[in-house]
């Protein structure tokens, strides 16, 4: 066997505390750790005050590492890789789990190569092969046309996991973790990047991550003018508005509202696709929705293979009456 | 300004996915017959980013591709679009490579070149969806890396990179030499003119194999592909709503959704 031991979870915060993906990682991490008979730890990286977030300690980890430094106030690839490199080299976990978030997909590969190991990103399943005790890492490839399962003999394994692929840790777990402050040394002069501007651009309405209903527009909607109507309807349904890649490229919606394999991966209760063809790259980012409704003028559009309910027609004609009826029904 | 763009050849990802099959035994994706190879779309954007810099500031653009049986016409398109040099890292063993092996081969070839200012990669290849080779290559070369760029602006011995993050965007200043991975927002690759396509046919191509690069693929691979299977699709039968007019169909859709408890 190898000399690596333990499952480590990288903790991320949003505006409302722990990101849901972090709870899911802790849930999955606990399960894997128990099966391997290894401890579970969580790591929080940031600057002063991050311990406030250590209610992660209540979520089933045996140890919580707090990595705090002035240079870690905001996420930056270089500083975070340097900090985590130090912790991981000392702790030697079997695996480090991160969310497939904007941070995770940037951090995981750099850290893996720094540690001369390998990362597997965007996993949708994580299991143990009981005979060999190696991790089976499953992820979509080819834009979602296939699903690959990988193993590796290199440790620690750096793994990012897709949102909602795993069940979250029970909030009632209530175990109190041992909190360890891990001191890192960072040399400012060794860093070659500098954050010079950070701009919030949320787009209007609910965020994709928070919405139970998403209305998504594609190239068929055109630009911002067409999206106005989707926004109005979204307000009625308490829905968030997203778009396909062409819709974002046409500035119909903000770029961080792109849904799909290279945008945000969502799994709402209801996904309403308007003027979207249903390409594999788009659908592998929303195909986990409980219900899908599609409006498209092309009866052969692939979206109808995924949809529960569909209307073939010009959205400019179908959508206004659809929206008006919805308004009447929900009010 | 010396730029290197890493371009992967992939089966056209925009080809119909209904005809795409998985050969479970061979652990390979079988694309519909006649699907042409193309440059991976984000790599085309990476090339466009380099050419935009060259338009304004001048410079030299080298395109590099790793693979087995690389299609010359596909990669010559890079020359026709405005790249100055094409280096193919081609060998029968350069097949089904993992990110570590690919990045190591690129790193070996880049060390042979010696100096460079900026390396550009796509944010992820359309076949692997790995999203690692760019970051990995930067680590192997000990240079900084900024991922998923939607804008690149050249300054004095540095570039400013705009990148999309979950709640907006950020601008990162990075000292050169550096590596930047590029997203589609940079723009699509320009369309080459006919005369440039013809001229590109006559431009020389450099080809290097594993032996010349001192590469042993087997010793570099860190991932084993255990199995490859078709994706699980939603198993649904779409209930199509039709009516005399599209306006009425819209109303019926809303009513049906209410009936099914969706709203
Ligand atoms: C590596 C890679 C990654 C990618 N990642 C993503 C990703 O994350 N997200 C993503 O979305 N795409 C992604 N793509 C792009 C993807 O392949 C498709 O090109 C894209 O999803 C198509 O978007 P669309 O459906 O809006 O446009 P189109 O495919 O052009 O479809 C437009 C649809 O609108 C319909 N339409 C037009 N006019 C009307 C009208 N008046 N009324 C009703 N319907 C109308 C048409 O019938 C058509 O079906 C990626 C591609 C690659 C190669
Ligand atoms: N075989 C290859 N040849 C040249 N560049 C490659 C190759 N594989 C990957 N790359 C580059 O690395 C990026 C990311 O690839 P990946 O990590 O496989 O998703 C691609 O967009 C290319 O720019």
| In chain A, where the domains are located | 7-190, 208-330
What mean pLDDT do residues A47-51 have? 75
pLDDT over 60 at A1, yes or no = no
Domain ranges in chain B? 2-220, 233-263
For ligand 1, mutation pick of A121, A252, A279, A300 (most atoms within 8 Å of CB): A279
Share of chain B above pLDDT 90, in %: 94
Local structure of residue A59 (DSSP, 8 states):
B
Q: Chain B residues with CB inside 8 Å of A313's CB?
A: 246, 249-250
pLDDT (0 to 100) of residue A166: 87
Pick from A113, A148, A329: which is nearest to B136 by CB?
Answer: A113
**Degrees to nearest 5, angle at CA B187 with B183 and B190:** 130
pLDDT score for A33: 95
Q: What are the DSSP E strand ranges found in chain A?
A: 7-10, 13-14, 17-18, 40-46, 63-68, 95-99, 119-123, 125-128, 135-141, 146-151, 157-161, 178-182, 193-200, 213-217, 240-243, 270-274, 291-296, 309-312
The pLDDT, as a whole number, for residue A52 is 62
How close does chain B come to A325, measured CA to CA in Å? 6
d(CA A300, CA A291): 20
> With b meaning 16 or more CB within 10 Å and e meaning fewer, what string describes B195-231?
eebeebeeeebeebebeebebebeebbbbeeeebeeb
Centre of ligand 2 to C-alpha A30, Å, is 34
Query: Which residue, by CA, sits nearest to atom 8 of ligand 2?
Result: B8
- Could you please state the CATH topology (level 3) that the domain comprising A208-330 is classified under: Rossmann fold (3.40.50)
Residue B123 near residue B148 (C-beta atoms within 8 A): yes
CA distance A144 to B128: 10
| Nearest-ligand number for the alpha carbon of B70 | 2
Q: Which of B165, B240, B140 is nearest to A258 (CA)?
A: B165
Q: How far apart are CA A88 and CA A113, in angstroms?
A: 13
DSSP letters along A113-146, please? HHTT--EEEEESEEEE-TTT--EEEEEEEGGGTE
CA of B29: which chain A residue's CA is closest? Answer: A146
Reply yes or no on whether the pLDDT at B77 is more than 60: yes
Query: Which residues of chain A does B134 touch, with a Cβ-Cβ cutoff of 8 Å?
Result: 109
Report in angstroms the alpha-carbon separations of B60 from A68, A188, B84, B200. Answer: 43, 32, 6, 16
User: Both tokens of residue A213?
Assistant: 């209903």
In this prediction, residues B124-130 reach a mean pLDDT of 96
Q: Is B169 on the interface with A (CB under 8 A)?
A: yes
Burial A27-58 (b: 16+ CB within 10 A, else e): bbbbbbbeebebbbbbbbbbeeebbebbebbb
Q: Residue A18 — φ and ψ, nearest 5°? A: -55, 135
At residue A53, the pLDDT reads: 54
Average pLDDT value over all residues in chain B: 96
Domain B2-220 listed as CATH 3.40.50.620:
yes
CA distance A24 to A162: 10
DSSP secondary-structure letter at B106? Answer: H
Which residue did the predictor score with more confidence, A66 or A173?
Answer: A66
| C-alpha A102, offset from chain centre | 7
Strand B239-240 vs strand A291-296: parallel, antiparallel, or unpaired? unpaired
For residue A191, what is the nearest residue in chain B, using CA coordinates?
A: B144
Contacts of A284 in chain B (CB under 8 A): 231
CATH 3.40.50.620 fits A7-190, yes or no: yes
Residue A54 has pLDDT above 60, yes or no: no
Q: How far is CA A101 from the centre of its chain?
A: 4
Query: Is a pLDDT exceeding 80 seen at residue A172?
Result: no
Among A112, A142, A249, the residue with its CB nearest the CB of B29 is A142
Mean pLDDT lowest among A52-66, A115-129, A314-328? A52-66
Mean pLDDT of B114-121: 97
Q: Chain A contact for B125, CB < 8 A? A: no
| Beta carbons of A281 and B130 less than 8 Å apart | no
Reported as a pLDDT band with limits 50, 70 and 90, residue A262 is: confident
- Please check whether residue A273 is in contact with residue A218, taking contact to mean a CB–CB distance below 8 angstroms: yes
Given a contact cutoff of 8 angstroms between Cβ atoms, the answer to whether A241 and A227 are in contact is yes
Cα–Cα distances (Å) from B188 to A249, B35, B49, in that order, read: 10, 21, 9
> Hey, whose CA ends up nearest to atom 30 of ligand 1?
A219
Pocket flag, ligand 1, residue A57 (CB < 6 Å): no
Residues 6 or more apart whose Cβ sits within 8 Å of residue A278: A294, A296, A301, A302, A303, A304, A305, A306
Helix (H, G, I), strand (E, B) or coil at A51: helix
State yes or no: pLDDT of A97 exceeds 60. Answer: yes
Question: In this predicted model, what pLDDT tens digit does every residue of B157-176 receive, in sequence order?
Answer: 999 999 999 889 999 999 99
pLDDT at residue A175 above 80?
A: no
Pairing status of strand A7-10 against strand A40-46: parallel
Query: How many other C-beta atoms lie within 10 A of the C-beta of residue B258?
Result: 15
* Rounded Cα–Cα distance for residues A238 and A216 (Å): 13
Mean pLDDT of A265-276: 96
Inter-chain CB pairs, A–B, below 8 Å: 273
Nearest chain A Cα distance for residue B230, angstroms: 5
As given in the structure block, the two tokens for residue A229 are 């109507």
Atom of ligand 1 nearest to the CA of A303: 49
> End-to-end CA distance of chain B, in Å?
57
H or E stretch covering A88: helix A77-91
Taking the C-alpha atoms of residue A138 and residue A121, their distance in angstroms, rounded to an integer, is 9
Q: Is A312 on the interface with B (CB under 8 A)?
A: yes
Q: Do domains A7-190 and A208-330 have the same CATH topology?
A: yes
Smallest Cβ–Cβ distance between B136 and the set A109, A150, A323 belongs to A109
Query: Do residues A288 and A264 lie in contact, with contact meaning Cβ atoms separated by under 8 Å?
Result: no
What's the gap in Å between the CA of B3 and the closest CA on chain A?
18
User: Residue A78: which residues within 8 A CB-CB, separation 6 or more?
Assistant: A191, A192, A193, B144
Under the banding of pLDDT at 50, 70 and 90, the label for residue A213 is very high
User: Helix, strand, or coil here: A220?
Assistant: helix
Chain A residues whose beta carbon lies within 8 Å of the beta carbon of residue B172? 76, 193-196
**pLDDT class of A47 with cuts at 50, 70, 90:** confident
Beta bridge partners of A295: A274, A311
- Mark residue B97 as left, alpha or beta (left: phi above 0; alpha: psi -120 to 50; beta: remaining): beta
Name the residue among B80, B9, B100 with its Cα closest to residue A112. Answer: B100
Tokens 């398109």, residue? B77
* Residue B225: its H or E element: strand B224-229
Residue nearest to atom 7 of ligand 2 (CA): B8
Closest ligand 1 atom number to CA of residue A314: 42
> What is the C-alpha to C-alpha distance for residues B237 and B97, in angstroms, rounded to an integer?
39
pLDDT above 60: residue A249: yes
Ligand nearest to the CA of A295: 1
Do the Cβ atoms of B247 and A320 come within 8 Å? yes
Q: How many angstroms separate the CA atoms of A73 and A92, rounded?
A: 25
Ligand positioned closest to the Cα atom of B105:
2
């Amino acid at each position: 066997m190898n000399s690596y031991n333990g499952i480590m979870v990288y903790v991320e915060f949003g505006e409302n505390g722990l990101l849901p993906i972090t709870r899911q990682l802790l849930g999955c991490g606990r399960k894997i750790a128990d099966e391997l008979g290894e401890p579970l730890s969580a790591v929080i990286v940031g600057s002063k005050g991050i311990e406030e977030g250590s209610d992660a300690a209540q979520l089933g980890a045996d140890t919580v590492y707090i990595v705090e430094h002035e240079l870690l106030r905001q996420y930056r690839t270089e500083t975070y890789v340097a900090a985590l490199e130090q912790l991981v080299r000392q702790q030697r976990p079997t695996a480090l789990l991160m969310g497939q978030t904007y941070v995770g997909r940037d951090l995981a590969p750099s850290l893996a190569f720094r540690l001369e190991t390998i990362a597997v990103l965007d996993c949708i399943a994580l299991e143990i092969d009981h005979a060999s005790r190696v991790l089976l890492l499953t992820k979509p490839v080819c834009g979602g046309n296939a699903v690959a399962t990988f193993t590796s003999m290199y440790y620690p394994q750096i793994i990012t996991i897709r949102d909602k692929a795993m069940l979250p840790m029970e909030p009632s777990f209530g175990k109190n973790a041992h909190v360890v402050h891990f001191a890192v040394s960072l040399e400012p002069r060794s860093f070659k990047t500098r954050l010079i501007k950070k701009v919030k651009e949320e787009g209007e309405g609910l965020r994709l991550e928070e919405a139970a209903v998403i209305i998504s527009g594609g190239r068929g909607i055109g630009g911002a003018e067409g999206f106005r109507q989707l926004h109005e309807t979204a307000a009625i349904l308490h829905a968030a508005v997203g778009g396909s890649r062409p819709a974002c490229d046409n500035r119909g919606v903000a770029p961080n509202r792109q849904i799909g394999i290279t945008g945000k991966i969502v799994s709402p209760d209801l996904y309403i696709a308007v003027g979207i063809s249903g390409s594999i790259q788009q659908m592998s980012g929303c195909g986990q929705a409980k219900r899908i409704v599609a409006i498209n003028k092309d009866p052969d559009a692939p979206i109808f293979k995924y949809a529960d309910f569909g209307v073939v027609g010009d959205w400019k004609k179908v959508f206004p009456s659809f929206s008006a009826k919805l308004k009447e029904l929900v009010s | 300004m010396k730029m290197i763009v890493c371009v992967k050849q992939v089966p056209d990802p925009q080809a119909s996915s209904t005809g795409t099959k998985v050969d479970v035994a061979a652990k390979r994706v079988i694309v519909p017959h006649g699907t042409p190879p193309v440059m991976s779309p984000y790599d085309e954007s990476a090339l466009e980013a380099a050419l935009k810099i060259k338009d304004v500031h001048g410079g030299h653009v080298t395109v590099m591709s790793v693979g087995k049986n690389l299609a010359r016409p596909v990669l010559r398109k890079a020359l026709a679009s405005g790249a100055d040099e094409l280096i193919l890292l081609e060998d029968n063993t350069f097949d089904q490579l993992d990110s570590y092996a690919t990045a190591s081969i690129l790193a070996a070839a880049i060390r042979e070149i010696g100096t460079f200012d900026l390396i550009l990669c796509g944010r992820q290849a359309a076949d692997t969806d790995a999203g690692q080779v760019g970051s990995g290559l930067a680590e192997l070369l000990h240079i900084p890396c900024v991922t998923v760029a939607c804008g690149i602006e050249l300054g004095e011995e540095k570039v400013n990179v705009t990148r999309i993050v979950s709640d907006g965007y950020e601008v990162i200043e990075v000292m050169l030499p550096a590596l930047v991975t590029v997203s589609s927002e940079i723009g699509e690759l320009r369309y080459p003119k006919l005369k440039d396509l013809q001229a590109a046919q006559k431009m020389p191509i450099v080809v290097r194999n594993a032996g010349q690069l001192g590469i042993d693929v087997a010793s570099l691979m860190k991932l084993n592909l255990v199995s490859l299977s078709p994706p699980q699709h939603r198993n649904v039968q779409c209930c199509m709503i039709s009516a005399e007019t599209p306006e009425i169909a819209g109303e019926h859709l809303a009513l049906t959704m209410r009936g099914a408890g969706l709203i």
